[in-house]
A and B are shown apart, each in its own frame.
Chain A
Amino acid sequence: MEKRLSRDIAQHLIEKSSKGDAEAFSEIYFSLKDPLYGFAFRMTNTVSIAEEITQEVFLFFIENSEKYDAERGSLFSFLCGVARNKVLNYLKKSGTRLETNDLEEDLFESPSNTWGRSPIRNLLDKEFSGKLEQCVQSLPPYQKEVLLLREIEELSYEEIAAITETNIGTIKQRLYRARQALAAGLEPYLKTEEVKYELHRS
């Protein structure tokens, strides 16, 4: 992934890419396409929209690569910020409320009924994964984006703040709330030793 590359290397590849070096561009593209697509998909929960957003992000990069400033953050942060804007535009158009949790009740619904039958079997059936996905998707967009950027992309608070154009205090607050919501939704699973073991192995 690009974030494992230094900013200098990313800058060097961008310079070559802007001069028409297709190999340099390919290197950038293949190192960033999956995390950007993953972010867009998890934020929108729609494959076609995620594909469209990912494509638009790279088209933007092709035409505006000179706008990237390595001093301000990683290339992924820069492009993730572009993806985020497109995601938020899509969510606003689709009527999603960005601040509140529309599915809060569902998020805190207890899975104990299904869990009681056979925890290991349910785990193998990916019920836990499904519930986790449901909990993540139920988060308000502002909390979800911060959680995804932190947990999946492993960005620092500073980088996340740069992408979301907020301050670190806001990032901490949103992250705290997102984790609280996940912890509440997954509490029954977390109390099970098998799940703990499985998660530990992962």
Chain B
Amino acid sequence: MNCTEVKENLGVFADREADKTLKRSIRSHLENCAGCGDKLADLKKISAAVKHSAGASAPAFLDEKVLNAYRDHHLKKEVSGEIKRAGWFGIPKFTFAGGLIILAIFSALSFQLGRVSASANETRLAGSRGIPKANEKTKDTAAVKAADRTKIVEVPVIEEKIVRVPVVEIREVVKTVYLKQEKIGSYQQSRPGAANKLSGDQTARSGFRPAGDLNPQVVNKNDADQEYKIAPDLNPTVINKGETDE
């Protein structure tokens, strides 16, 4: 390999792009040729100078322009539906959110159904104990009414509890409360029949009004001292404390 051939390939050699044969030939030539050695040194110096002169930096305002262009581009793609945004657990966010909403609706419905079912069971159990069902207008109700006219029932009070009570039962309870109030009145006034003179304000506060066919019985003083028994066929349930206090 002569000097001309070596000089033509010095760049390739310096760039480490020469194959093994070319490398070997140039190396052997450089060992014996100072002129080509100088050319190689100059070549390396020029390369170093060019590298050293590099250092142009893109201006900062370009960053904002390009990054905004990227955001705008992907925003358009999202709007057009080309991109489904990744969400949680690999599910797109909108799908995930929709799933959560549906789940919440089903949970609420299940809860409500559970309450309805529990209420139905309660009513069924109450019915098995002899309490008429709320929506049931049967001859049993009439029988209860008729039987109740001669019985006095004490209502046990449990604080701060409201229990769904069949309409017929409420009427019986009202009557019972009415009787107890009259009893108290009879203690104070010692005059029978005061129950019939209960003022309109009192009945309005109680929120109940005795039915016409369920006129309360007048209880005398002696009756008030008695231990009242719960009628087996009525089985009274709990009412609001406030109502009984009045």
Interface residues of A (CB under 8 A from B): 17, 19-20, 22, 25-26, 29-30, 33-34, 36-38, 41-42, 50-51, 54-55, 58-59, 62-63, 128-129, 132-133, 136, 147-148, 150-152, 156-157, 172, 175-176, 179, 182-183, 186-187, 190, 195-196, 199-200, 202
Contact = CB atoms under 8 A, between A and B. Distances in A.
B71 A22 contact: yes
Q: Max chain A CB contacts within 10 Å: which of B11, B55, B83?
A: B11
Contacts of B49: 128, 132, 186, 199, 202
Given A25-B67, A199-B52, A176 B11 contact: yes
Interface centre among B43, B50, B59 (most CB of A within 10 A): B50
Contact of B54 (A25, A152, A187, A195): A152
A186 B46 contact: yes
A84 to B, nearest CB: 16
A19 B11 CA distance: 43
B78 interface: yes
Contact of B17 (A17, A58, A157): A157
Find the residue from B8, B55, B74, B78 having the highest chain A CB count within 10 A.
Answer: B74
27 contacts: A19-B86, A20-B77, A22-B70, A22-B71, A25-B67, A29-B66, A34-B56, A37-B56, A38-B54, A38-B57, A41-B56, A51-B59, A51-B62, A54-B62, A55-B62, A58-B66, A62-B70, A63-B73, A132-B53, A147-B50, A148-B50, A150-B15, A156-B17, A172-B17, A175-B15, A179-B43, A183-B42
A176 B17 CA distance: 13
B63 A29 contact: yes
B197 interface: no
Contact of A152 (B51, B62, B63, B70): B51
User: How many interface residues does chain B have, given as a range?
Assistant: 35 or more
Contacts of B51: 151-152, 202
B48 interface: yes
B92 to A, nearest CB: 11
- State the main secondary structure of chain A at its contact with B: helix
A151 B57 contact: no
Given A29-B67, A34-B57, A179 B46 contact: yes
Contact of B15 (A128, A132, A157): A157
B58 A132 contact: no
A183 B43 contact: yes
Contacts of A33: 58, 62-63, 66
Given A20-B78, A33-B62, A199-B52, A190 B45 contact: yes
B67 A55 contact: no
